[in-house]
């Protein structure tokens, strides 16, 4: 069975000295990746790593993540990316929960019951001395990757992808624009699945990948994209908003030569989508993607200008349904639970003990845990299934409230949540960030735009909403006193 490593070995032969990866002060060609991965694979085999073993990779260096992933795929082992910032106690919990046999790490973490391979001078010398002849391909390789995700729902789950599924999932990122010889760049860590998927997608397409430091600010990011003549980039919405602040007041896009500025990982307001198209680049693209399904919809170009209030047009070949809690399809335009069937959907979910909500596989469908509506083949995400508010026995969807409040001048961002009420079961509170706002203005605006059962009973003013690294609002931190 062909593995992802076979594609890299083909690139090593066919693309040879073409620049593949520029990261951490190092530049690797496709031949370099093939050679170093083969050397690493031989050292790992000598340590007893075998096909189907689950091996953790924790590092701040993108080059190590790429080379070691390819090495593990040569063996037929399964890659489990881990965040290097994770405390040792949490790392030990994940090692046990996901049955890891080996962890490749920048420093010893004192993990028990697992082989730790520390990237010190001795380790690198051992790899440098090994043969660069690729080991014999495994007859029965394991999963390509188990990508850990918790989102905003609690305990991590592992998104299991076969080699074919991994290639299908990453393929679209490397070929989102036509042509060869493209350069992709982003600022982020390879432990973040979106960065990893985009980077591997472009490498598998034969493009050059540049990984910038994750803490790079928006101004420097824009400058580097221009200086390095980058053709494609990925950013989370938080970075896009920071880039908009840099570009504010300009009359022309600051990145006119980009073939694609790909954004995803969290929602964006209608105003920010249009501003990104106008001030950053007309090739701005926003996707809706789920860890369990891969990308489902894309909003770009004329679609963005015509339907900026949506999350884009559903991709061809992706089957999307919106259903009620009994799995019955709801009428077009109505809100329900999103479920998807796609070529790149996960083959299995691993772990997630005690996790009540979020991603699920059921009856051949991937349930993303999102509330959504579909109209004219455009997808609109309306929140998470656990976020809706039950007020007086009626379901109220936070996104409807938030979209209404966002139309008031001066509002930058808003989040609606439910809080306990003896009379109604739950009442509605709206957290609002903006300029020149008063409670009276908000009350009058909501009376004009929302039905009585959807109007917030409390308004709380904040400087900014709490968000995770992707830009998703952390609703659990919005506690009404």
Higher pLDDT, 29 or 424: 29
The b/e string for 426-448 (b: 16+ C-beta within 10 A; e otherwise) is bbbbbbbbbeebeeebbeebbee
Q: What is the pLDDT of residue 481?
A: 44
According to DSSP, the β-strands at 19-23 and 294-300 are: unpaired
Return the residue matching tokens 């691993």.
350
Structure tokens that stand for 437 in this block: 């706002």
Higher pLDDT, 13 or 175: 13
Task: Dump pLDDT digits (tens) for 42-62.
Answer: 999 999 999 999 999 999 999
Query: For residues 151 and 196, what is the distance between their CA atoms, to the nearest angstrom?
Result: 16
| pLDDT surpassing 80 at residue 28 | yes
pLDDT mean over 98-110 = 95
Q: What is the pLDDT of residue 25?
A: 82
| pLDDT surpassing 50 at residue 153 | no
Query: For residues 239 and 225, what is the distance between their CA atoms, to the nearest angstrom?
Result: 14
Structure tokens that stand for 177 in this block: 């624009």
pLDDT mean over 132-151 = 91
Query: For residues 303 and 283, what is the distance between their CA atoms, to the nearest angstrom?
Result: 12
pTM for this one? 0.85
For residue 234, which of 199, 262, 269 has the smallest C-alpha distance? 262
| pLDDT surpassing 70 at residue 150 | no
Query: For residues 59 and 451, what is the distance between their CA atoms, to the nearest angstrom?
Result: 51
Query: For residues 153 and 462, what is the distance between their CA atoms, to the nearest angstrom?
Result: 23
From residue 339, give the alpha-carbon distance in Å to each of 216, 360, 369, 372.
36, 9, 8, 9
Q: What HEC string does 231-257 produce?
A: CEEEECHHHHHHHHHHHCCCCCCCCCC
């Amino acid at each position: 069975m062909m593995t992802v490593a076979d594609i890299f070995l083909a690139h090593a032969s066919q693309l040879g000295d073409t620049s593949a990866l520029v990261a951490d002060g190092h530049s690797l060609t496709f031949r370099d990746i093939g050679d170093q991965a083969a050397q690493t694979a031989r050292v790992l085999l000598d340590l007893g790593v075998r096909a189907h073993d689950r091996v953790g990779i924790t590092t701040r260096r993108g080059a190590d993540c790429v080379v070691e992933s390819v090495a593990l795929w040569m063996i037929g082992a399964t890659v489990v990316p881990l965040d290097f910032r994770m405390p040792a106690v949490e790392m030990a919990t994940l090692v046990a929960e996901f049955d890891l046999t080996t962890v490749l790490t920048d420093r010893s973490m004192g993990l028990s019951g697992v082989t730790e391979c520390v990237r010190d001078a001795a380790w690198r010398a051992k790899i440098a001395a090994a043969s660069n002849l690729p080991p014999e391909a495994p007859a029965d390789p394991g999963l390509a990757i188990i990508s850990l995700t918790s989102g905003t729902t609690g305990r991590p789950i592992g998104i299991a992808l076969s080699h074919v599924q991994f290639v299908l999932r990453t393929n679209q990122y490397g070929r989102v624009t036509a042509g060869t010889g493209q350069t992709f760049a982003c600022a982020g860590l390879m432990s973040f699945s979106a960065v990893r998927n985009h980077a591997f997608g472009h490498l598998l397409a034969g493009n050059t990948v540049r990984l910038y430091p994750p803490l790079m600010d928006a101004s420097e990011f824009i400058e580097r994209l221009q200086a390095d003549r980058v053709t494609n980039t990925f950013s989370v919405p938080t970075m896009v908003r920071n880039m908009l602040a840099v570009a504010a007041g300009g009359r022309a896009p600051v990145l006119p030569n980009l073939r694609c500025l790909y954004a995803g990982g969290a929602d964006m307001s209608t105003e920010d989508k249009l501003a990104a198209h106008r001030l950053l680049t007309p090739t701005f693209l926003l996707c809706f993607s789920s860890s369990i399904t891969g990308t489902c919809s894309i909003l770009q170009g004329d679609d963005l200008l015509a339907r900026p209030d949506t999350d884009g047009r559903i991709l061809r070949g992706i089957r999307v349904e919106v259903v009620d809690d009994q799995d019955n399809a709801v009428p077009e335009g109505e809100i329900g639970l999103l479920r998807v069937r796609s070529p790149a959907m996960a083959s299995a979910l691993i772990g997630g003990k005690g996790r009540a909500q979020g991603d699920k596989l059921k009856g051949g469908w991937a349930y993303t845990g999102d509330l959504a509506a579909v109209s004219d083949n455009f997808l609109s995400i309306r929140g998470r299934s656990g976020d809706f508010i039950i007020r007086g026995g009626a379901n109220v969807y936070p996104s409807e409230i938030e979209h209404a409040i966002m139309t008031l001048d001066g509002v930058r961002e808003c989040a609606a949540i439910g809080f306990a009420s003896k009379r109604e079961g739950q009442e509605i509170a709206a957290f609002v960030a903006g300029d020149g706002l008063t409670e009276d203005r908000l009350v009058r605006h909501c009376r004009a735009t929302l039905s009585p059962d959807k109007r917030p009973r409390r308004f709380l003013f904040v400087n900014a909403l709490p968000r995770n690294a992707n830009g998703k609002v952390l609703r659990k931190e919005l506690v009404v006193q």
